[in-house]
């Protein structure tokens, strides 16, 4: 009995290691051609870096111009930024709690705004006008490497939150409500980033592919409603990932549910 139980547990841990290996190999997933840069000994997707820098520049410009001359009675630009901040603050407070949410507003806000602007840029900006030696520019979230990086950042954040709040007692959640569930509770922490990364990547890639196919077949009328639907979908995906990130952080600080 005991030896059989050990064998079953070993098989579960082997499955966990296989999941880790699959997560590592996700970065090799490619759709179409890509333009690469060689930085040191690493090969990186140049078009993803270019579009990511453009998105970051848009966000930094918005923050700079909207806050460079703050007024007691807000102007239109300041009103817009304050509305976004209030929305992100309410989202974080709802998921993490009144007492602990404030330090996490910048992280959740950065995740939400980067994903939101990245997704919108894929639908609104004419990336394909700019020619590259290989491949073409697209939304940063159209690349699996970006979504995996965002998912891993979320994982690091909720591990840090749990350890910072509860210390080593955080690991007690893995044997609750019974130690028999230890392998399953460990596996859960590896499936979370997989789920986050594939959800965002799959939805954004599918939306852009559908619009591209419709434009090639019916270039005038039909793609327009689909593009507006894509704008709505991109906003929903940013909201979902930010909400899940905040929920995971709140859960890690409160204990296992």
pLDDT tens per residue, range 37-50: 677 777 777 778 88
Query: Considering the domain boundaries, does residue 14 fall inside one?
Result: no
Residues in Cβ contact with 121 at an 8 Å cutoff, skipping those fewer than 6 apart: 51, 54, 55, 58, 127, 139, 140
Q: What angle do CA 228, 47, 212 make, to 5 degrees?
A: 35
- Distance, in Å, from the CA atom of 41 to the CA atom of 22, rounded to the nearest integer, reads 23
Query: Considering the domain boundaries, does residue 45 fall inside one?
Result: no
Beta bridge partners of 45: 36
pLDDT tens per residue, range 175-192: 887 888 888 888 888 888
Query: Considering the domain boundaries, does residue 169 fall inside one?
Result: yes
Is the CB of residue 83 less than 8 Å from the CB of residue 210? no
Is the peptide bond preceding residue 177 cis, with omega within 30 degrees of 0?
yes
Q: Which of 132, 131, 110, 126 is nearest to 45 (CA)?
A: 132
- Distance, in Å, from the CA atom of 192 to the CA atom of 97, rounded to the nearest integer, reads 21
Query: Considering the domain boundaries, does residue 148 fall inside one?
Result: yes
Is the CB of residue 201 less than 8 Å from the CB of residue 150? no
- Distance, in Å, from the CA atom of 114 to the CA atom of 117, rounded to the nearest integer, reads 5
Residue 1 pLDDT level (bands cut at 50, 70, 90): very low
Query: Considering the domain boundaries, does residue 58 fall inside one?
Result: no
Q: Is 167 left (phi over 0), alpha (psi -120 to 50) or beta?
A: left
Number of domains into which the chain is organized: 1
Query: Considering the domain boundaries, does residue 116 fall inside one?
Result: yes
| Domain span at 137 | 79-253
Quick one: tokens of 230? Answer: 């894509």
Q: What is the CA radius of gyration of the chain?
A: 21
Quick one: tokens of 110? Answer: 């950065």
Does 20 have pLDDT greater than 60? no
pTM for this prediction: 0.76
pLDDT tens per residue, range 60-96: 988 888 778 777 777 777 788 888 889 999 999 999 9
Query: Considering the domain boundaries, does residue 27 fall inside one?
Result: no
């Amino acid at each position: 009995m005991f030896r059989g139980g050990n064998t079953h547990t070993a098989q579960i841990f082997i499955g966990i290691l296989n999941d880790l290996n699959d997560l590592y190999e996700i970065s090799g997933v490619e759709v179409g051609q890509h333009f690469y840069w060689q930085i040191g000994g690493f090969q990186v997707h140049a078009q993803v870096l270019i579009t990511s820098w453009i998105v970051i520049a848009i966000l930094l410009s918005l923050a700079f111009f909207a806050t460079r001359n703050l007024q007691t009675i807000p102007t239109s630009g300041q009103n817009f930024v304050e509305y976004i901040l209030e929305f992100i603050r309410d989202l974080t407070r709802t998921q993490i709690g009144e007492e602990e949410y404030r330090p996490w507003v910048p992280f959740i806000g950065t995740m939400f705004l980067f994903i939101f602007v990245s997704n919108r840029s894929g639908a609104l900006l004419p990336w394909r006008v700019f020619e590259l030696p290989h491949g073409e520019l697209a939304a940063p979230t159209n690349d699996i490497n970006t979504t995996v990086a965002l998912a891993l950042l979320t994982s690091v954040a909720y591990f840090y939150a749990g350890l910072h709040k509860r210390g080593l007692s955080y690991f007690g959640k893995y044997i609750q409500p019974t130690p028999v569930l230890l392998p399953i509770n460990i596996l859960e922490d590896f499936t979370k980033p997989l789920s986050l990364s594939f959800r965002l990547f799959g939805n954004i890639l599918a939306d852009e592919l559908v619009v591209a196919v419709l434009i090639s077949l019916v270039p005038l009328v039909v793609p327009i409603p689909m593009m507006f639907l894509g704008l709505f979908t991109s906003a929903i995906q940013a909201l979902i990932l930010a909400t899940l990130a905040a929920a995971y952080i709140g859960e890690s600080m409160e204990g296992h549910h």
